[in-house]
Amino acid sequence: MKLEGKVAIITGAGQGIGAATARKFAREGAIVVACDTNTDAVQSIAAACLENGSHAIGITLDVANRAAIDDMVHTVAERFGRVDILVNNAGITRDARLEKMTLAQFDQVIDVNLRGVFHATQAVSEYMVRQQAGVILNASSVVGIYGNFGQTNYAAAKFGVIGFTKTWSRELGPKGIRVNAVAPGFIETPILSTVPHEVIEKMRGQVPLRRLGKPEEIANVYAFLASDEASYINGAVIEVSGGMTL
């Protein structure tokens, strides 16, 4: 198993890509710390990880709350003795065109999708530097590379995550810590539940594979990047989009 005995914190683990990543890491032997604002969902995911034979716990967490993140990381380090992997997956959308976007919509997305990544990474970095080892994986998006109509806030945050990744890979690399980002394309997650059918069909048409991605396909990339098989990959942004940007 690729991640045998590794302690992995996964934010936004209650559904979608985060939940798939928690289950995949559990199958690969990791000790999974599943974090999400939805208590019932995160406890359910932790239970599913336990069924896969992994040690797992669920923690209710808002990544925009720095004090809560510090408490969570301290608790994990005290309980398991180390923190090996952080997957900064938590994210939200509050879409609107520029002229109609409210400050609240802008701030909410920046607080979770950008500032939350900063909070969690700064909190775990103390322990990883002490260990002289660790892996940090950040959720960006093809929107963070190419932009998207109606997503000023989301694009800014996901572009910022790429900047974090490039910077931290330089700062933390000499201390044995690898930092990479994954940029998914159109993925079948609950976030698409409110999108009209005709829009979904248009999205499929933009992908050469003529389908949307599955959360498990992103989780597989996270598991590879978190493993020793990716030991010389640092500062990369891996696009997983079925070729939609070609």
- Please pick, among 146, 154, 222, 232, the residue that the annotation labels catalytic: 154
Handedness of CA 216, 43, 12, 108 (dihedral sign): positive
Catalytic residue at 154? yes
User: How far is residue 221's CA from residue 239's CA, in Å, rounded to a whole number?
Assistant: 10
Look at residues 190, 191, 76, 208 and name the one whose alpha carbon lies nearest to residue 134: 76
Task: Say which DSSP state 213 is in.
Answer: B
Q: Strands of 177-184's sheet, edge to edge?
A: 56-60, 31-36, 7-10, 85-88, 134-139, 177-184, 237-240
The radius of gyration of the chain's CA atoms, rounded to the nearest angstrom, is 17
What residues are annotated to the active site? 154
